Chains A and B, each alone.
Chain A
């Protein structure tokens, strides 16, 4: 074996130019010692990666996500974390448009959100930087009528209306997420999102805020039962 260890390491690490790398590959075919050394280096790299890679697939702890979400709500500096300040902050930030982009990004990473505010089913994906409904949420927006929905439906549809751009929009409230989706060519773009928390007052407050946000977006009146059915028949165009 004529190569220095550093060259072999550089070969395994992909640091050699193509020409040199190919030459080493050829030599390894006939030089057992060289081939062994390469295999030893590769084995170590593989082992380290197998050991550490699962960390990157773990769910990111809430504490870390909260830091980022809080920052996004009130950049640049994080809030002083007294309960009062936090509550006020949550209220103020709740309806910032696209405010939960960071959360959506985490959904794309496959993080499951659940019963806690930070955990929602993967009902939201990002497409070209926009939040788009998917899964059960998309299905509810597509098919469910406000006038005719089960009391225990996982997603409740609120108002349906046309916005000033002429799109059909619908407000919704799910277990973890509430907001307003507007129908475009790509599906339901979420124009407003907020955490949903099914805890008495909060639920009421969020419903009120949703309605207020819908009113601000609306052109004309919200759909009545007949208009909602008609819109569904026409694919919400």
Chain B
């Protein structure tokens, strides 16, 4: 199968992942577009036989992190509200449990990036811890601890009915 055809097969999942990272549909598709451009430009680096999807996810994720850092420096990205700053730290407990019952986008937006990406990779995309660790280039222990914190915060914000 041609490289481009394989990419197209991955694209629906990649859009889902990007939606989780970026939050909005428009930002997610911008991210996908940038990722596809990057992948096409660097397809020579991809080794046949290795997993194209993992590579694609990694590129997408790295682009997103770059984008976040750049916009942070420009001061473009502003947190949704003051509470977001607190919750993005370790202060989830300071916000009433169940505040965001039903608002999954809102709850995900309040996770720090490094927790949100693990939640997406493992809980939504269904990657094994080891695979997620490879995509993110971190040890497995880092994946499990970020996942645990992300889960706790989501359960807390979404309420017991989560």
Q: Which positions in A face B, CB cutoff 8 Å?
A: 5-6, 9-10, 13-15, 40-41, 43-45, 47-49, 51-53, 55-58, 60-61, 63-65, 67-69, 71-72, 75-78, 101-102, 105-106, 109, 129
Contacts and interface: CB of A to CB of B under 8 A. Distances in A.
B158 A44 contact: yes
B37 A78 contact: yes
Q: Is the interface of B mostly helix, strand, loop or mixed?
A: helix
A117 to B, nearest CB: 16
A48 B9 contact: no
Interface in B30-88: 32-33, 36-37, 40-41, 43-44
9 contacts: A6-B144, A13-B122, A44-B155, A48-B124, A51-B104, A61-B29, A64-B33, A69-B4, A72-B2
B95 interface: no
Interface string B1-36: 111110111011101100110000100110011001
B8 A65 contact: yes
B101 to A, nearest CB: 11
Report the contact-size class of chain B (Cβ under 8 Å from the partner): 35 or more
Given A9-B151, A52-B20, A57-B12, A67 B144 contact: no
Nearest to B44: A76
A9 to B, nearest CB: 6
A159 to B, nearest CB: 29
A63 B29 contact: yes
A40 to B, nearest CB: 6
A48 B33 CA distance: 24
A9 B129 CA distance: 11
B40 A76 contact: yes
Interface of B: 1-5, 7-9, 11-13, 15-16, 19-20, 25, 28-29, 32-33, 36-37, 40-41, 43-44, 104-105, 119-120, 122-124, 128-129, 144, 147-148, 151, 154-155, 158, 160-162
A71 to B, nearest CB: 5
Given A45-B123, A75-B3, 5 more contacts: A44-B123, A44-B162, A60-B11, A67-B33, A77-B40
Given A55-B16, A68-B7, A5 B148 contact: yes
Contacts of B13: 56
Contacts of B128: 14-15
A60 B12 contact: yes
A70 to B, nearest CB: 9
Contacts of A78: 37, 40
What 4 A-B pairs are tightest by C-beta distance, nearest first? A56-B12, A55-B16, A72-B4, A56-B16
B8 A40 contact: no
Contacts of B3: 75
Nearest to B102: A47
Contact of A58 (B15, B37, B122): B15
A5 B147 CA distance: 11
A16 B103 CA distance: 31
A57 to B, nearest CB: 7
B155 A76 contact: no
A63 B19 contact: no
Contacts of A57: 12
A109 B5 CA distance: 11
